[in-house]
Amino acid sequence: MKKLSAASVLKVLSVFVSALVIVGFIANFGGRVSVPTARASTSTSTTQTINVTVNQVITLSLGTSTLSLPALTPGAPVTATTTATVTTNANAGWQLDFNRNSATSTIASGTITFPDATSFNGSNATTTANLANSGQVLAFRAYQTGTSAGIYNTATWGASDAAPMWAGFPTSTQVAVSTSSYIGTPNTIVYGVYANSPATQVATNYTGTITVTAIALP
């Protein structure tokens, strides 16, 4: 049996941050508009309406550009976590998407692929036990601990970090975390990667990239 000697099995080489800036103009011509009229008087007043639209802005920063997992001994899963921080003024909330950058596998070593868990579709994360039974795979999840209050979704990622749910990185963007209302302060999301492999997995260094995208909702 080959031993995985690589110190790092996952390397996030790049992070593509996409911020969707949405400009919404809402006409505001409510009853407070007064048509200016020339009114004869030694004292005359006119009301003027002023409108301004504040555009949405959003920024995303990752705690680390590269996430290195501990050396993996087949059969003994390893995990590592990092953070994503979303700051936005979006009044309808925002979402954080994940996708892997290779359709073949999230991480690979040349042509040698590392098995992925079932791709996340928004609601199919599974327990650690199920993950282990599926064939020792690469998976990810959002963590409750360290994630800003009100953002962590227990239905998607488990009731707590003690009962986690995992899913494979999707080949196309999937919403992993979202909010539907304005939060004026920076939001931190802790997410982590789980890796395990069968004894037959070629011992080498595996690397790959994922893309994390923050979107301000219209």
Partner 1 sequence: MAKKFALLFSMVALLAIMRSLPALAFNISSTDFFVRGDVGYNAGNSTSTDFGLFSNGQLDAQGISLSGDFQIIPGILRAIFQPVQPIYTQIHYHWRNDNGSETSATSATGGIEDTALTGLAQNSSTRVRMEITNAGGTIFSYSPQSFQLQYGQLSTTCSAISSWTAVGTGSAVWSMYNSGNLTDGQNTTNIATSTGGVADANHTFIVSNAGVKTTSSTVSAISVPSDSFIEMEFDVQALTSSTPGATYCFRLTNVGSASRFIYSQYPQATLSLISQSITLTLNAPTVNLPALAPGVAVSATTTATVSVTGATSGYTVSIQRNSATSTLASSSITFPDAAVWNPSGSTCASGQGNGTTTPGNTFSFRVASSGTTANYCSFWWGASDSGGTALYAGVPTTTQIIVNSTSSASQNGTTVVTILYSANVPLSQEATSYTGGVTITAIANP
Site residues (CB under 8 A) for partner 1? 22-26, 28-30, 32-57, 59, 87-91, 182, 184-185, 216
Instruction: Specify the residue, 95 or 105, whose C-beta has the smaller distance to partner 1.
Output: 95
Q: How far is the CB of 182 from partner 1 (least distance, A)?
A: 5
Minimum distance from residue 101 beta carbon to partner 1 (Å): 29
CB 139 within 8 A of CB 149: no
Question: Which position has the token pair 């302060």?
Answer: 185
C-alpha to C-alpha distances, 110 to 14, 39, 99, 119, 132, nearest whole angstrom: 18, 81, 20, 21, 25
Residue 62: CB minimum distance to partner 1, A: 19
By beta-carbon proximity to partner 1, the closer residue of 215 and 216 is 216
**Residue with smaller CB distance to partner 1, 36 or 150:** 36
Q: How do strand 19-20 and strand 210-216 relate by DSSP bridges?
A: parallel
Q: Which is nearer to partner 1, 67 or 183 (CB)?
A: 183
How far is 111 from 52, CA to CA, in rounded Å?
A: 55
The answer for 62, left when phi > 0, alpha when psi is -120 to 50, beta otherwise, is: beta
Half-sphere exposure of 62 (CA within 13 A, CB side): 22
Least distance to partner 1 from the beta carbon of 24, Å?
7
